[in-house]
Amino acid sequence: MNLIFLGSPGSGKGTLAKLLSSALGVPHISPGDILREEVKQNSELGHMALPIMKKGDLVPDEIILKMMKKRITQADCLGGFILDGFPRNRAQAIGLDEMLSGLDRSVIWTLQFEVSDECALKRLGGRRICSVCGADFNLFTKPPKNSDICDICGGKLLQRADDTDEVILNRLKVYRQETLPLEEYYKRQGKLIRINGELEAEVRLTEALKALGK
Ligand code: ADP
Ligand code: ZN
């Protein structure tokens, strides 16, 4: 099952993508995670992407398309995948359709999650991630026992460089201008499923599985 997750920053699509990925047994593919890993590795791609990500702008389409093609053509994607954060504009959506039709495949469903800006700011501004095990915390909704230490492994908790108020606001603006028009793109193809992003993750998982007939 080839799925796309569409949703603003802070809509909780990453959290749900991870849950649905284990429920369906298909890989969770996040270009944001791939790019952050490239930054960590100090690769050429990471070097190029870092200043763009720090501002919350979009990395150029050709680079993203090449990166995603490399990932989607790996063997573990043969049974399906969840794309979390791609496509992010019309050019990427068209590029994805072309890429998939070349592989004799297509997008099956697009799951869209919407939340208020207020909810997005709270989720992103309060987000803390363990630098060792990757566990997610939130100072408002899922606080760690000690403000900067992981409950699970004792690792140091960090804030993502683009989770500051100013950059969050730009990410929301870029989402509205570039990504939200894809709602219409997939709706016209009869592939859009809407889920309330403000619901608890477990409730959203149940809703998503029901909508997908699972
Ligand atoms: P969020 O959706 O919460 O903003 P992501 O982890 O999906 O966070 O993305 C982080 C950053 O990585 C984006 O702000 C952007 O700079 C870059 N990025 C991720 N996906 C794409 C994409 N499909 N096209 C262009 N840039 C991207
Ligand atoms: Zn940890």
- Work out whether the CA dihedral 34, 39, 42, 44 comes out positive or negative: positive
Q: Is 36 a catalytic residue?
A: no
Q: Give the closest residue (by CA) to ligand 1 atom 12.
A: 32
pLDDT tens profile 177-211: 999 999 999 999 999 999 999 999 999 999 999 99
Residue 182: predicted pLDDT: 98
Q: Which atom of ligand 1 is nearest to the CA of 9?
A: 3
Tell me whether residue 9 is in a domain. Answer: yes
Question: Which ligand lies nearest the alpha carbon of 11?
Answer: 1
Which residues are near ligand 2, the ion (C-beta closer than 5 Å)?
130, 132-133, 135, 150, 152-153, 155
The DSSP result for 63-76, as a single string, is HHHHHHHHHHTSGG
| Identity of residue 183 | E
pLDDT per position as a tens digit, 9-39:
999 999 999 999 999 999 999 999 999 999 9
User: The domain containing residue 77 runs over which residues?
Assistant: 2-116+165-211
Is 93:85 a contact under the CB 8 Å cutoff?
Answer: no
**Which listed ligand is nearest to 121 at the C-alpha?**
1
**Contact yes or no for 82/28 (Cβ under 8 A):** yes
88 alpha carbon – ligand 1 mean position (Å): 8
In a domain, 111, yes or no: yes
Residue with tokens 């009869």: 190
* CATH at residue 196: 3.40.50.300
Question: For 29, phi and psi rounded to 5 degrees?
Answer: -115, 115
Beta-sheet strand order (sheet of 81-84):
28-29, 81-84, 2-7, 109-114, 192-196
Active site residue 128: no
Residue 181 lies in a domain: yes
Q: For residue range 55-111, list pLDDT tens digits in order.
A: 999 999 999 999 999 999 999 999 999 999 999 999 999 999 999 999 999 999 999
Query: Do the beta carbons of residue 96 and residue 29 sit within 8 Å?
Result: no
Distance 199 CA to ligand 2 centre (A): 25
DSSP string for residues in 47-115: HHHHHHHHHTPPPPHHHHHHHHHHHHTSGGGTT-EEEES---SHHHHHHHHHHHHHTT----EEEEEE-
- CA atoms 195, 108, 2, 71: torsion sign: negative
90 is catalytic: no
Residue 149 lies in a domain: no
End-to-end CA separation in angstroms for the chain: 11
Report the number of distinct structural domains present in the chain.
1
Does residue 136 fall inside a structural domain? no
Mean pLDDT of 123-147: 94
Active site residue 204: no
Which atom in ligand 1 lies closest to the alpha carbon of residue 31?
A: 20
Domain assignment present for 131? no
Contacts of 158 (CB under 8 A, 6+ apart): 128, 129, 130, 131
Q: Please state whether beta strands 136-138 and 127-130 pair in parallel, antiparallel, or not at all (unpaired).
A: antiparallel
Distance CA 150, CA 129 (A): 8
> Can you read off the two tokens belonging to residue 4?
């796309």
